[in-house]
Structure 1
């Protein structure tokens, strides 16, 4: 699908990918894939290869955690590892304000401003990972190294 035919939020993601030199194409799924399990089923990949974009709130700012779909984020352990105060789930309003995207479709890029980002080290196990493309119906492939570079993320254990 050409970028012009993508939803507005996905066009922003597409443009950010191209600016970063990432060639993965955004695809539109027939059904929403707002969870890692749904995305993995739609794509025919392991759930661990889905890079969930989870937005948290910590120390007065949004924190994006790119985690393997096979993991749950241990917020207390992650806060201790990062030397941060309490990490808690962002509200739907905070997610939209920080990313310009809705929960279930948050991409690792295409936000109004760069977010501090943590990238789950477990995603390195996969040669190809999939992330949301700005809406619950859009996804794109990239490598682990591309994800870390794209987000300027800090690699960490998140579970």
Structure 2
């Protein structure tokens, strides 16, 4: 287990949420990899699209695996100029996790959650590395990251 995965597990235990950390032997870096690895639909896997606004605020748009995040919709919902996508170095700096393993919680950010995600009971999100996932109830996800539900998808 990597230090990143351990950090996610410790966060889950400290917040006492009901979530399952899953470590895999094969990569789950992409949605298609995750779907293949755990045998679920792409809508059960969420992507965390990391963005930065003009003031340096870090924003994470959470969308279903088959959807694409819209920077213009996120900007409009937050009443800011359109944010830009974060690069891999910025993702690690702001989240503490490498791209491809970022969880939907556990670090300081403005979280926005697409409405379609809230139609699910349970989702799989990054588990700290490209070889791990977290299975979490959407209601717990909303509670711990204090996300704002908007239309974040294109």
Q: Give the alignment's TM-score, normalised by structure 1.
A: 0.89
Q: CA deviation at 1:31?
A: 1.1
Corresponding residue for residue 3 of structure 1 = none
After superposing on structure 2, the runs of 4+ consecutive aligned residues of structure 1 that deviate more than 6 Å are none
CA–CA separation in structure 1 for the residues paired with 2:130 and 2:141 = 19
Q: 1:123 touches 1:144 (CA, 8 Å); kept in 2?
A: yes
Say which SS state the counterpart of residue 50 (structure 2) adopts: strand
Are 2:21 and 1:35 aligned? no
How do 1:131-150 residues align onto structure 2 when only pairs under 5 Å count? 131-150=125-144
CA–CA separation in structure 2 for the residues paired with 1:44 and 1:143 = 18
The answer for unaligned runs of 5 or more in structure 1 is 1-5
CA–CA separation in structure 1 for the residues paired with 2:61 and 2:84 = 11
The answer for unaligned runs of 5 or more in structure 2 is none
How do 1:6-17 residues align onto structure 2 when only pairs under 5 Å count? 6-17=1-12
Q: CA deviation at 1:82?
A: 1.7
Say which SS state the counterpart of residue 19 (structure 2) adopts: coil
Corresponding residue for residue 21 of structure 2 = 26
CA–CA separation in structure 1 for the residues paired with 2:104 and 2:121 = 18
Q: 1:16 touches 1:109 (CA, 8 Å); kept in 2?
A: no
From 65, 68, 74, give the equivalent of 2:64.
68
CA–CA separation in structure 2 for the residues paired with 1:19 and 1:54 = 25
Q: Give the alignment's TM-score, normalised by structure 2.
A: 0.92
Say which SS state the counterpart of residue 52 (structure 1) adopts: strand
Q: 2:59 touches 2:110 (CA, 8 Å); kept in 1?
A: yes
- Matched residues, number: 152
